[in-house]
Chain A
Amino acid sequence: MQPSPLANPLATVAQLETPGSQLDRIPPDLEDSAHFAGARLTQAAGILLRLPQEVVAQAIVVFMRFWVGPEGGSLAEFGAEQVSAASLYLTTKLSAYPKSARSLINVYAYLASLPTTCIGLEQLKGKMPETCYFVTEGTYERRRTTLFTTEQRILRTLGFNVHVNLPYTLCITYLQALDIFTHPRAPELAKRAIAHLNTALLSPQFLYLTHQPPALATAAIYLAAREVGIKMPECEWWEVFDTDREELGFLCVGMLSLEGFAQGERDKWEGKKCPMSVEDMEAEVKRRREVDG
C-alpha cells in the first residue's frame, strides 16, 4: 500500500498503556511533567537556533514517540533534556537547516542555566547570541558523545520512524477550502488554529501520536472558529476532512484541557526545576518517597 502523505505512524493502545518510564516506577505525574518540560525545552532551543516551527514540531513528535511503549525510553535511563537535544539534532540533520553539535550543546547549556524549567518562550526571542560558548572543551566532548549515543538510541527505539507529517499546511488548505479567508477576522482564526496545533504538541495525551494530521487540523479550526466567533457551515463540515464527530470531540477536549494542564505545571515548578536529567529524576523520586514516608 502506498502510504498516505497525510499519515503518521500512530502509537498502539498497548504502547500508550505502558510507557517505558512506568516500568521503572517513575510516578506518572512526574513523567507527564518531564515530557512537558522536555517539549517546551525543545521549543525554546528551536527559537534560539532560529529554526522554523515545522522542524521544532517534528523534533517534539520524535521526542514524544521515544517515550511510549514498554520498549520505549525510560526517564530512569534517559534525561528529558538529553532526549530533547538529540531529537532536535536528528531532526535538523534531515531538514534544510542542519545545526552543528556545538551550537546545539551551547544552546542547551544556556537554557539549563536559567533558574526555571518554565521558560517563557516570548522572552527568549533574540536572546542568547549563538556565538557565545557556555561549556568548556571537556564538557563539550562529553556532551557530544552523549548526544550521539542518544541519537542512536532514538533511531533504534523508533525503528528509524523519524519522519513526521505535520498538520500546519493542511490547516491552511482546509481554511481555504472552507472559504474562510473572505472573512475579515480570518487571519485571527488562522493564527488561533495554528496556536492550537502548537500547544497540542505538548499534550500529555500524546495527541500527535494518536491522531492523524487531518483530524488535528480540523479540530484546531473548529476550536479557533468558536473562539474567534466565525460561523462555520451548518452541516457537518468536518466530515469533508475525514474527521468524524467522535474524534473531533475527543480532540477538542484534549486541546482545551491543555491550558489547564500547562497552568498546573507552571504552578508546580514555579521558580523550581523539573528534573531533566537521570540524576535529578532519581533524586526527585527519592525525595518524594521520603516525603510520603
Chain B
Amino acid sequence: MASRWANEEADKVEEQRRKKDKEDKKRLKLQKQQEAEAAAQAAQEADSRPAKRRRLSNDNEPSTKSTIPEAERKLLRFEAGGWSPCRHTSNFETLNHIEEGSYGWVSRARDITTNQVVALKKVKMDYAQDGFPITALREISILQKARHTNIVRLQEILSGDDPQECVLVMEFLEHDLKTLQEEMSEPFLASEVKTLLRQLTSAMGFLHENYIMHRDLKTSNILLNNRGQLKLADFGMARYIPSSTTAPLTQLVVTLWYRAPELLLGTTSYGTEVDLWSLGCIFAELLTKSPILPGKNEVDQLSLIFSLCGLPSEKTWPAFYRLPNAKSLKLPREHRHANLGFNRAKFPFLTASGITLLSSLLALNPNDRPTAAEVLEHGYFKEQPKPKPSEMFPTFPSKAGQERRRKRSPDAPKRGEVGAGIKAVDFSSIFKDREEEESGGGGHRLRRPFAVGYPFCRLRLVALVGSWTATDRTRSVNDCASVICFEICYTSAVYLYSRLLLGPHDLLHLCPLPSFPCAGDPSLGERDCVGDLERVGDPGVTECRGEPECAERGRLGDLVGDRSRDRLRVRDRARAGDGVRDGMIG
C-alpha cells in the first residue's frame, strides 16, 4: 500500500518534470524558429534585390504587395533530372551472355567507370517500315515511367557504332523465375509463394493504376535477386490502356501458356484482366513448379483451360458467345455436370482461401477476376503461413552469371503485329464428338462407380474410349470416393477428347497427369516422402513440403481419427477431392 502511494507521488513529480521539459523545449524551438525566420528573411531580401530591379523594368510584374514577413512556406520542388545524349556501348564490358530472346539479346556487363554490374538488353531492330520500332520505343518509355521497387530499373539507353543499335541498361538480377524453378528440386514453400506473389501483384497494381498493361506476364519475365526481391521485366508487349474503347487492340499478346481465354477467343477489346489471368497461371506455377497450362497450340490451350477451370455457360460468362472465335466452338448441350467449376484437386496442398484466390484469378469471365489491389487484400496473404520476409529468402545459385542452356517454351507473340490480318482460330474440334456421346451411350458413365484404387491414368483412358468394362475388375467398395474420382475423370475426358482430335499419337504421352494425385498413382509415393524436407518459414509455423496445410490436416484428422496412416492417406485424397469443383452438387 505504502509503496503504491509512493509510486503515485513519484509519478506526479515525474509528470511535472516532463511537462516543464516540454515547455522548455517548446520555447527553445520557437526561439530557434524566429531566428531562422529572421535569417531567411534577410537572405531573401539580400538575393531578391537584383531580381526586384529586373522586375521593375517591366510594369507587368506581379503586384508585390509588401506583406508582413511570415515563416517561409515550404514549396514542393519537382525533380525529374535532365537529359544527355546516349552513351556509347564501349563504356561497358560484357561479362557473359544471359539469354537470346525472341526480341533481343540480354547479357551481364560491367560499367567500366563505376564497376557496377548491370544487365544489357540489346533490342533487335526491324527498321524497314516505320523508323524506330514502336515496340522498343514503348518498352523504353513505359520503363522510364514505371519506377517501382518491384519493376526492373532502366538506367539508361546506349547507342553503338551502328546508328540503329540500341541497348537498354538495367539493374542486374541473379535469377528469373523460370530458370530458377527449373533448377530447384522442390517447389517454393507456401510462405515464399506468398512473398513472390505479393511483390508481383504490387508491381501489377502500380502498372494498372498508371494505365499500363504488361501483356506478357510469365515466369521468364519475372526476375529475382538474392535478397528475395522480385522485379517485373520485359515490357516489350506493354502498352497504355487506350482511353477510347473503340480502338481495337491486338489479341496476339501474351505467351500462349499465360494467355487469357478471352484473348484466345479473339477479343479486341480487353483490359487489365488479361494480366490477372497470367498472374493466376504464375501463382499456380509457383505452387507446382511447372507451368499449369502448357498448351501446344491455341486449340489445345483452350481445352486445357476448360479442363482446369470448367466450361463457360450463359450464366457465368454471358459475353462468351459473342466473342469472334466462340462461334466455331460448340459447347456440349446443357448437361447435368456442365460448368463444373474450378478443378481444385490439382492443388491438393493449397488452403481453401488460396484456392478461392487462384480460382478467382483463373475465372473464365474476365469480369469475375479481382483487381491487383483486391488480390493484395486477399485473406490468403493474412493466414498462416505468413509471407516470408524477403531478407529471409534462401539464396539460390545464380545461373545468369554463366552460360546456360534453357528449356524451350513458347515465345511471346511476334511483336508489332496488328490485330488485322490475324486469322480466326477454329475451335470447332474441341467438343466435336462430345455431344453425340452425351446423348448416346456415354451417359452411363455418370452412374458407374469405379475403384478408387484404380490407377488413374488407366481410368482416364477408359473414360476416353467410353467403355467401363475394364473397371469392373477392380471395382472398389468405397462408393463415396468413387463418385469423386469420376468427377476428376470427367474433365480429363474433356481434356483428352481434344487431344485425341489433335492426333491419337499424343495419347500415350498425355495420359499420366502427375499433378492429379490419387491413391495408386505412382507419383503419390514421391510426394509423400518429401515431407521430411522441412524448412522454417514464419516463426512458429513449420512448413513441410508436400503436405497439406496444417488446418486442412486437422479437419481430416477428426474424420478419420482411428484409421491407420495408410488409410488416412487414401481418405486424404478423397477428402481433397470432396467438392473438387466449385458448385458441384453431391
Binding site for B on A (CB under 8 A): 1-4, 6-12, 15, 65, 69, 71, 89-90, 93-94, 96, 98, 101, 147-149, 151-152, 155-163, 212-214, 222, 236, 239, 242-246, 248-249, 252-253, 256
Contacts and interface: CB of A to CB of B under 8 A. Distances in A.
17 contacts: A3-B81, A9-B81, A10-B82, A93-B131, A93-B137, A148-B131, A151-B132, A155-B86, A156-B159, A160-B157, A163-B145, A245-B62, A249-B51, A252-B60, A252-B61, A253-B55, A253-B61
B242 A96 contact: yes
Contacts of B5: none
A19 B48 CA distance: 28
By Cβ-Cβ distance, the 3 closest A-B pairs, closest first, are A7-B80, A7-B78, A161-B83
B84 A159 contact: yes
Given A160-B157, A161-B83, A163-B141, A248 B62 contact: yes
B64 interface: yes
A71 B127 contact: no
Nearest to A144: B131
Contacts, number: 120
Nearest to B143: A160
Given A4-B79, A101-B130, A148-B131, A239 B62 contact: no
Contacts of A71: 84-85
A3 to B, nearest CB: 5
Interface in B110-132: 127, 130-132
Contacts of A151: 131-132
B85 A159 contact: yes
Interface residues of B, number: 44
A93 B86 CA distance: 21
Contacts of A213: 78
Given A151-B131, A152-B131, A163-B144, A4 B82 contact: no
B156 interface: yes
A11 B82 contact: yes
B445 to A, nearest CB: 53
Given A152-B131, A246-B48, 17 more contacts: A1-B79, A1-B147, A4-B78, A10-B80, A12-B82, A15-B82, A71-B85, A93-B131, A93-B137, A94-B138, A152-B132, A156-B163, A158-B83, A159-B83, A159-B85, A214-B78, A245-B64
Given A71-B85, A148-B127, A242-B75, A3 B64 contact: no
A253 B138 contact: no
Contacts of B90: none
B420 interface: no
Contacts of A160: 86, 140-141, 144, 157
A65 B82 CA distance: 10
Contacts of A243: 75
B164 interface: yes
B67 interface: yes
Contacts of A93: 130-132, 134, 137
Contacts of A7: 78-80
Question: Quick one: which of B85, B144, B247 has the most chain A CB within 10 A?
Answer: B85
Contact of B132 (A148, A239, A249, A256): A148
Interface of B: 48, 51, 55, 58, 60-62, 64, 67, 73, 75-86, 127, 130-132, 134, 137-138, 140-141, 144-145, 147, 156-157, 159, 163-164, 240, 242-244, 247
Contacts of A89: 131
Nearest to B77: A242
A96 B80 contact: no
A147 B144 CA distance: 24
A8 B64 CA distance: 29
Contacts of A8: 80
A3 B61 contact: no
B67 A236 contact: yes
Given A12-B82, A151-B132, A253-B55, A239 B73 contact: yes
A252 B57 CA distance: 13
Of listed A9, A158, A249, residue having the most chain B CB within 10 A: A249
Contacts of B140: 160
B278 to A, nearest CB: 24
Contacts of A9: 80-83
A78 B533 CA distance: 67
Contacts of B145: 3, 163
B75 A244 contact: yes
A246 B51 contact: yes
